[in-house]
Amino acid sequence: MSSANDIVRLESISKSFGGHGVVHNLDLCIKDGEFVTLLGPSGCGKTTLLRIIAGLETQDYGRVFIGGKDVSIIPPNKREVNTVFQSYALFPHMTVYDNVAFGLKMSKVPKDEIKERVKEALDTVMLGNFADRMPQNLSGGQQQRVAIARAIVKRPKVLLLDEPLSALDFKLRKQMQTELKHIQRKLGITFVFVTHDQEEALSMSDRVVVMNEGVIQQDGSPKEVYENPKNMFVAKFVGEINVLQAVIEKTINGKLRANVEGRQCRLTKKHTYVEGDSVKLLLRPEDIRLEHIKDADSDYPLQGIIEETTYKGATLDSIVRLDSGTVIMASEFFDEDDPEFEYKTGEKVAVKWVDGWEVLLPDD
């Protein structure tokens, strides 16, 4: 996995606080220029991992490399990484200018150069006119930008962001997501971004590292993580998902016939399971198609009853109780050509999905 252009390399990192393990024997390589997101529920060790890269926590075991150099025991002030803190951590007794200039002053950069670079950094985050303000006189979004400017002004090899957008309201968060992406492309700095918001992780990252209980659950592109979750944790944590019980009945050239929730279905995608395997069949709500059942004894494999429909603007979300009792959710886009695209509560519908879009995981 490791290669020459890894900017960050973590080797078997372990960390515990007061006897409670937070990170377990974790390996991770981050390439130069990548936008990597550490995604997981609170307490999964993602922030601790970030702080270990920054040097703000010391790992109990393992080694940390930044830019090929072993920095395992190097203090944070000597590491070429900078952090954007969740609480922003702006110095309350300094102006915006002095906040941004702080890092440069500490490393004795000449005054003229400081001036130039602070201006450049503030322009990057579009706060050029706010240099003389005090942080407490800025809005949350502006404080956030100052925190980013302060962290990028030293041109770190890696920028670490600890849930930087969690305190912002929805609209501002969306805006900052796009802006952060722009800043990252413009500066070409590696970003390591920590979040518990899966949507944020998917939309911003080149690579998503899903963590739980101090262990990496899956490490891949947003598409891989969303479409091919490796285990139930990833499947359930990243986006909405329906879980159906299935048993493989027959395999023909890798294609399967399975008993799904008591009904026989054919699965056209190749899977490696064999006859008799008990599996979970996972379907994203947007991959499900519902159909009105016209004639009573039609032979659709999966059927159910509409329990509730919710109009969501772009989609119609339906909750369906299958004949087996399992409840699933379908999220369908409105069809312009079908004015009767709606379901009545209690109506019987057939449940289908796009061939091959299902995910099978072993049942355990």
Where on the chain is the footprint of other proteins (CB under 8 A)?
Answer: 51, 54-56, 75-78, 81-83, 85-87, 89, 91-93, 102-103, 106-107, 136, 150-151, 154
329 closest CA partner among 341, 340, 312: 312
CB of 54: closest distance to other proteins in angstroms? Answer: 6
DSSP 335: P
CB of 327: closest distance to other proteins in angstroms?
43
C-beta of 9: minimal distance to other proteins in Å?
A: 20
Q: Which is nearer to other proteins, 106 or 354 (CB)?
A: 106
Give the C-alpha separation, 352 to 260, whole Å: 12
202 within 8 A of 186, measured Cβ to Cβ = no
Residue among 107 and 278 whose Cβ is closer to other proteins = 107
Question: Under 8 Å CB-to-CB from 238, ≥6 apart: which residues?
Answer: 39, 198, 201, 202, 208, 210, 225, 226, 229
- Report the C-alpha gap between 120 and 186 in whole angstroms: 13
Q: Shortest distance, CB of residue 106 to other proteins, whole angstroms?
A: 4
217 φ, ψ to 5°? -90, -40
Nearer CB in complex with other proteins: 90/306 = 90
For the CB of residue 241, give the shortest distance to other proteins in the complex, in Å.
Answer: 35
Q: Of 80 and 224, which has the nearer Cβ to other proteins?
A: 80
Backbone angles phi, psi at 52, to 5 degrees: -70, -40
Which C-beta is closer to other proteins: that of 73 or that of 354? 73
Shortest Cβ 126–other proteins spacing (Å): 21
103 or 229: whose CB is closer to other proteins?
Answer: 103
- What is the layout of strands, in order, in the sheet containing 278-283? 263-267, 255-260, 242-252, 278-283, 359-362
